[in-house]
Structure 1
Amino acid sequence: MRIAVVTSNRHKAEEVASFFAGVAEVEHISLDIPEYRDNDVRNIAREKARYAWEQVRRPLIVDDTAFSIDALNGFPGPYAAYVQGTIGNEGVLRLMAGREDRQAHFETAIAYADEAGEVRVFSGIVKGEVADAPRGGVGFGYDPIFAVGSRTFAEIPLAEKNLISHRARALAAFRAWLEDQYP
């Protein structure tokens, strides 16, 4: 089976390709997709998949990720990329100053579209907390301030992070469905 990963991030496409080695052949397609707005990352991924399907007309996946902080009523949620680009980790840490509740979670939704016309969405969540200060030297985005256990994502080696991350969990759910559909 061949699946297109529609993303402008070639590193993400490489990660997906390695995840599906031996299960499906992965093709990277870079496509500008409109930024859909919704409070549910699964709905955003679904709409992105519909748009991408209309453009490429072959089995594909897209994804979208939310970063939600409990003490901030789920902010930034599906607007995580915008918040990261405007106030960054330092701004998020300022918003969290003095807060005892530091619980947060990432959710990634993987949406799959094919000729059957139905878009299927698979999600993965990883819970953690917002660290008091940035730590670690690997990763990107919120990785230096998002801790799972005693380490931030930026302190966890990439190979290990790829086993426990929200994206890995969503991809695992999709792969399980795919293997069931195409044994």
Structure 2
Amino acid sequence: MNSMLSAEPQYFSAADEPETTTIGAANYLSLTGDGPPGADTFYAKKASLTHAATLLDAAGPVEILYWYGPEHGEIDIAGFYSTAPLNALLYRMLIRVPADVANAGVPDEVRTATGAHGPDLGFFSMTEGKVVQVMHHGPFAGEHETLSRLGAFADAQSLRRSGPHHEIHLDPFGPGSPQKHLRTILRDPIA
């Protein structure tokens, strides 16, 4: 995990106060899902993704893109987790990988070793471009307050979210893990 963090220091950092920055292209090992974060299915997918990344010698922080279907309309940054029901969330779990790993494809033995979610493993690439971001400290339940600050910052500059909400979990977490010391980058692409 430390090698990816040290290789991409700008990507894996954010200030405690909202800021804008530009994020370039990146490659990821990926699994998609739907439903609320913290559900059993969510943690099973997270475990499969982490195991697969370890087998590919590409372990790094778990990242998650979240979005809602078009039936929920445009949702602003501040209201992301409070405007639509959490069971309507769609997500893509990610772990950054070097380009050579992504270009090689997911080996069959990695798919088999990661069990039920192995067939769904794949590689995903994206360029976020201009984003607003902030570091959230502590429990996930407190993200509402941090997103409110991030949303107010974006609104003051007439910026709106233009893609999936992105969370980068710098610290490992699981069901029942203490969350007091967690660090999570909250990042939203903007237009």
* Structure-1-length-normalised TM-score: 0.32
Q: Determine which structure has the larger helix proportion and give its number.
A: 1
